[in-house]
Chain A
Amino acid sequence: MIKRLLLLVVVLAMVATACGGDGAEEESTTTTAADGGSQVAAEGILKTVQDRGVLNCGVNQEVFGFGFVDADGNFVGFDIDYCKAVAAAVLGDADAVEYKALTAQQRFTALQSGEIDVLIRNTTWTATRDGGEGATFLTTTFYDGQGMMVNSDSGYTTLEDMANTTVCVQSGTTTELNLAARFESGGIPFTALTFDSNDELRPAFVAGQCDGWTSDKSQLAAFRSQNPPADGGPEAWTILDETFSKEPLGPLVRDGDSQWAQVVDWVVYATIQAEEFGLDSGNINSYSGDNAEIKRFLGQPNEEGTIFDPGLGLPTDFAVMVIDAVGNYEEIYNRNVGPDTALGLARGVNDLWTRGGLLYAPPYR
């Protein structure tokens, strides 16, 4: 009920955005409209965030390892670290983040209405979302794929075994669409039970209301790792081998402000580039080498004493602040979801291109 109310309020807020006279956001909207949507407004989201002094970041609060509230009430996780990284680059303070926990169904409306500046909530990049939601997807931070989790004693080993089963899935997700597409094209009769949130889905799966739980494999690994011993612990659940979709997850921003999009993009690139350079939170402040590329990346003056500024609207040493605050990609990965965490996910395709992975940052010059 609260969720529905919130959504309605958001829709109303969209209406009201044009009536009210304050704030820079609607100024940008109207300017964009007048210019045919091609030009960036003078006062974009970057300026708004800097004036406000806090970043509104849309996140998940249910997925351990990615977006989760810990026992002390703090948001922690892979996606959360990227919120902090953006705040560190834009505001110089990784803690200047206002986290807005959103359900899968609320997230796009919250982004469209300007309630949040950036959405980092394990959101899959698809054509419809790019085209229809008024959202711009940015660099993928985590390459994922959809999987199926079943009870270990169920005897299911492939999706083809799962004829006439009921599968639990979160509504308003790409996994819901992939599920229908995969089972229908495979001619496997099934029933999909959809839930508003994972908090309601989990008890249904535990009670055997559904035979399978489908989601991104990283999320399934997260829930599996958190299964309490009372329900059999992680061993009671098995994730099937088959991956039946591509789920590139990354941050996204509102359409129509390319400056802000570039800012968020380059914050992500900075974490990847830092790992490629071998820079991490331990050594980035003490770099004193003479590698011109690294000096440029860190915003250190060259031999002539000039400092490279690519004109992104960020401080020239933003990479230092980002890496200092959250570390490079490897540190973020290993801290939240890596082999030493409860999730225990290997890097796989989420590795640097130099090691055969998909992470590749454009040159910083």
Chain B
Amino acid sequence: MTVARETKTGTARPPFWRDVKVLRIVAQLVAGAGSVALLWYLGSNLTTNLTAQGISTDFGFLDQPAGVTVPGSDFRSSQPISDILVLGIKNTFALVIVGIPLLTILGTLIGIGRLSSNWLVRKAATAYVETLRNIPPLLVIIFTNTAVILASLPRIQEAWQPFDLFVLSNRELAVPWFTAGDGSGAYLGVLAAGVVASIAVWIWRTRQFDATGTPHHRFFWGTGVFLLFAVVGFFVIGNPYSLSRPELEGLVITGGISNISAYFAVLLALVIYTASHVAEIVRGSIQAVAKGQTEAANALALSSFQRLRFVVLPQAFRIAIPPLINQFLNFTKNSSLAIAIGYSEITLVVFQAIGNGQPAPQLIIILMGAYLLFSLSISLLINILNRRLQLVTN
């Protein structure tokens, strides 16, 4: 039968208007052309109507002075709008880069807690997930801002300064940070060399383990080598970095690293909110690992930590990664809610500019482009990781 069909298609193809192969390509082309035409039609309508109303449709406004300042930065109002947009993207990035690792760790811990054999831990984790997952993130942000920042922290005039290491107030929060001294560039070079060396040691230990079966302890070896470089380099170069403590002088915090309290309110709110979703993903992924795997680990007399660390979690994460990407993207997109409490991320900056008389359509397009950039970059990074972790099945 297969042979018969092959000979049939081979000898006498149907006419092109009935040829599925041709029709498929034509359908694709028609759909594509239709979409382009629709977009072009809408775009030209927008341009015509805006021009008729005397509203500019170009991007020349980007060179105009922004006219406003940005809290937590030394942005001056005479700088152009393009600069303030870049600053907005940086501020969004500052949320994402700190938030995603935090929410992953917190979510994983709570997800594991959901499956704990300890009644209290299990119920507490369930309560956490069921509460936070069912509250809109905007409310969580407003709650952390009003209850945690505004109501719990003192004014900057009476800021808490525990151990003289931190400055905590409802206006700004500051923690100690490193300041570069002489030879800091050289020290960074030494640290980079340390990273290279520890990777080399890691690979060597892994090969050793594969060849002989002796325990590799590659984590301890790798960290040890890096720390060796870090410590020896520090003393050889002679204090390339020193710790700077934040100090409060009047209303100004000098030294350390500080940010406005709205940043911490948004960060805290979105981390605990998104972690509740991540916890469910982690729990589901752990339960999706075949029961036989756990039983096999028990049969090998692995401790419960070893069972989780070496058998269950590696397989669970493989299942968890695709839905995790969604949560990371949600975190990024929800960061736009920071506009409610005045953290100058990209959305606030764009709407500020629109309110100050700059054209809305162009700015909204820029805003959409910025979020697309964030989302696609995160997807790309995690998809690479995903591909590396996938089970090799050939």
Contacts and interface: CB of A to CB of B under 8 A. Distances in A.
B297 interface: no
A171 B52 contact: no
Contact of A207 (B49, B150, B357): B150
A164 B252 contact: yes
A258 to B, nearest CB: 13
Interface string B327-345: 0000000001101111010
Given A11-B360, A191-B69, A105 B49 contact: no
Given A132-B56, A177-B68, A11 B49 contact: no
Interface residues of A, number: 58
The 5 closest A-B pairs by CB, nearest first: A172-B355, A180-B77, A208-B155, A18-B45, A33-B52
A334 interface: no
Interface size class of B (residues with CB under 8 A): 35 or more
A173 B68 CA distance: 10
A35 to B, nearest CB: 10
A1 interface: yes
A232 B393 CA distance: 71
A165 interface: yes
Nearest to A132: B357
A172 B354 contact: yes
Contacts of A26: 49
Contacts of B156: 208
A37 B342 contact: no
11 contacts: A4-B351, A15-B46, A108-B354, A132-B358, A171-B352, A172-B354, A173-B356, A177-B356, A190-B69, A194-B342, A204-B150
B31 interface: no
Which secondary structure dominates where chain B touches chain A? helix
Contacts of A165: 251
A193 interface: yes
A203 B361 contact: no
A196 B46 contact: no
B68 A176 contact: yes
Given A191-B69, A256-B53, A209 B351 contact: no
Contacts of B50: 14, 134
Interface string A261-304: 00000000000000000000000000000000000000000000
Contacts, number: 169
B250 interface: yes
Interface in B121-145: 138, 142
Nearest to B361: A11
Contacts of A11: 360-361, 364
Nearest to A185: B77
Interface string B230-267: 00000000000000000000111000000011100000
Interface in B142-171: 142, 146, 149-151, 155-157, 170-171
A32 interface: yes
A7 B104 CA distance: 33
B164 to A, nearest CB: 21
A255 B54 CA distance: 8
